[in-house]
Structure 1
Amino acid sequence: MEQSPGSGQGPQDSGLPGCYRHPDRETGIRCTRCERPICPECMISASVGFQCPGCVREGSGTGHAPSANQPRTIAGGTVAADPRLLTKILIGINAAVFIAVLATDDRLVRDLSLIGQFWDYFGAPLQGVAEGQWYRLVTSMFLHQEIWHLGFNMLGLWWLGGPLEAALGRARYLSLYLISGLAGSALTYLIAAPNQPSLGASGAVFGLMGATAVLMRRLNYDLRPVLVLLALNLLFTFTWSGIAWEAHVGGLVAGTAIAYAMVHAPRDRRALVQYGVCGLVLLAVVVVVVVRTSQLV
């Protein structure tokens, strides 16, 4: 179901050059010093535009940029040695939880899935977010019951998450992922509650999809691949039975809004704008959960 935004299209297809360090990655951005084409992983924020790793090393004279001019991503994050580390960790957590689900005969699904309110045989509220189990909004994001569900979500996380982690930096990328997932959980709780269970990383993955579109637009990439990917996933969302469309839509809206702030924030107030928008989206999530809980209890 999920596929790479850049699959099936190389630099020759769109007319854009390939990154000089990663020739298979087309890009519309060039180093402001040497003018060689560079992809998001190679972009290092400079006083004007972006520079490539080679020019930064040459400019420092030692092979390492001075602390005052620490290499930065397009969003202002620190350039990491392993740009996919958090993505690998997130995939590992999802896989570990899935193994635990199999080992406990689905008992974890009952204990950790997102459910607004569940009644006992006498009609009394028994468990759920409305009963104070807010942790379900988070735990359900890492919970999968079927191998195909886990596989599709983890493929999407790997293909979309790696480039975003490299372009945004770890802290911003993790904020994007978690808040997108929470927004998906909150919208599901608002609409599908009280007693319809929901689980999976799809909300967070849809947030990454929206963020990918924003990033590609910011870098003047060809948007057609990611728009086709998004359209196909939305088609599956609304035509397949048993899919929590609320999580997909909530994650997509939140991820798009956060990513726009990440890559368009003014340089002099970048962190304030970026984390301010993250805080506003998180506040909206809390308000939705509180309001829905007040309706159920």
Structure 2
Amino acid sequence: MDQAVCCYRHPDRETGIRCTRCDKPICPECMVNASVGFHCRDCVNQRGGTHVQPRTIAGGSVTSDPFLITKILIGLNVLVFVLELALGDRIVDDFGLYAKCVDLQTLQPARCGVSDGEWYRVLTSAFIHERPSPVHIGFNMLSLWWIGAPLEQRLGRSRYIALYFVSALGASAAVLVIAPGALTIGASGAIFGLFGATAVYMRRMRYDMRPVIALLVLNIIFSFTWANVSWQGHLGGLLTGTVLAIGMLYAPRERRNLVQWGTCAAVLLVTLAVSAIAVSQVTS
């Protein structure tokens, strides 16, 4: 088994990246973007203190609060949950993911849902959770913090935002294809996208994959065995997040932005096209 290599400034952090000048191991916080590879902060200082914008492993900007977007996402989810408690089923009915609504009195299709042009549901449904119990939102928000916050720090804000929202759309696309008649709500599809991205990151950094694989397997088993859990959305989010992370973390440095944002655009177009095809099948 390979011996773990740790950052020269942070001995508690394993890393697979080295300074291209002195070959010291460096973690994402200590990486300074260079024309070729990364430099450590000591080498940058030895070059006369030239200021170089530090970058994450994916090329994103290093910020003073690397967890800001995750905090905002958690805040939005909690805010919507409070509105659900105040307004009742209205929030779910108006913003949950339906391909086609059904009038519960007549059991006939009603004029609502994605098939009637309410496309905002493919995204708004990711901010709605079951009520009145806080278990659903509590579990999702804990997962978002544990998985999302470290990933935001390693990717940078813009790439993390793209990963989260496109994963949510991928989860909705899978639901529309496999279970178009089901009401689907919750952030878990997007969070599964973060799980997939975390696995790609650990592979990229040559970390021990066993913990994240075990966690993924447990969550997938939970998705298929627990009642009222959308395994379709979970798998859709997982697949989407994994593909996006591969494009973000394995992009060649010379064309990194092109490959990364090109991957995001391509995956986004595929999810929208798949959703449109699925909805057209419902309406026909």
Give the alignment's TM-score, normalised by structure 2. 0.91
Cα separation, 1, equivalents of 2:30 and 2:150:
11
In the alignment of these two chains, the number of paired residues is 279
Residues 1:270 and 2:256 aligned together:
yes
**Secondary structure in 2 matching 1:19:** coil
Instruction: Pick one of 69, 78, 83 that aligns with 1:95.
Output: 78
Residue aligning to 2:146:
159
The amino acid that maps onto 2:88 is: D
- Identical columns (%): 55
**Residue correspondence of structure 1 range 58-207 to structure 2 within 5 A:** 58-59=46-47, 61=49, 64-65=51-52, 70-120=53-103, 121-122=105-106, 123-145=108-130, 146-194=133-181, 196-207=182-193
Show structure 1 runs of 5+ residues with no match: 1-12
Query: Residues 235-289 of structure 1: CA distance to partner in whole angstroms, max 9, x if unpaired?
Result: 1111111100011100110101010010111112111111111111111111112
SS at match of 2:111: strand
CA contact (8 A) 1:44 1:74 kept: no
Q: Could you list the per-position Cα deviations for residues 21-60 of structure 1 after superposition, in whole angstroms to 9, with x for gaps in the alignment?
A: 4443322333334544332333333233323345445545
Unpaired stretches in structure 2, ≥5 consecutive residues = none
Question: Does 1:240 find its partner at 2:226?
Answer: yes
Stretch deviating more after TM superposition (52-61 or 139-148)? 52-61
Letter aligned with residue 253 of structure 2? R
Judged with a 3 Å threshold, the aligned counterparts in structure 2 of structure 1 residues 147 and 24 are, in CA distance, closer, same or farther, namely farther
Matched to 2:74, the amino acid is: I
Specify the alignment match of 2:30 in structure 1. 42
Question: CA-atom RMSD, angstroms?
Answer: 2.0
1:28 matched to which residue of 2? 16
8 A Cα contact 1:41 1:163, kept in partner: no
Distance 1:58 1:170 in 2: 30
| Alpha-carbon distance, 1:105 to partner | 2.2
* Structure 1 residue identity aligned to 2:137: L
Structure 2 CA distance for partners of 1:53 and 1:290, relative to 1, 3 Å: same
Cα contact 2:147–2:198 (8 A) shared by 1: yes
Worse-matched range after superposition: 279-288 or 44-53: 44-53
> CA separation in 2, counterparts of 1:44 and 1:128?
48
Distance change in 2, residues 1:20/1:82 (3 Å): farther
Tell me if structure 2 keeps the 8 A contact 1:40–1:167.
yes
TM-score, length basis structure 1: 0.87
Could you tell me how far apart the structure 1 residues matched to 2:141 and 2:115 are? 30
- CA shift at 1:164, angstroms? 1.5
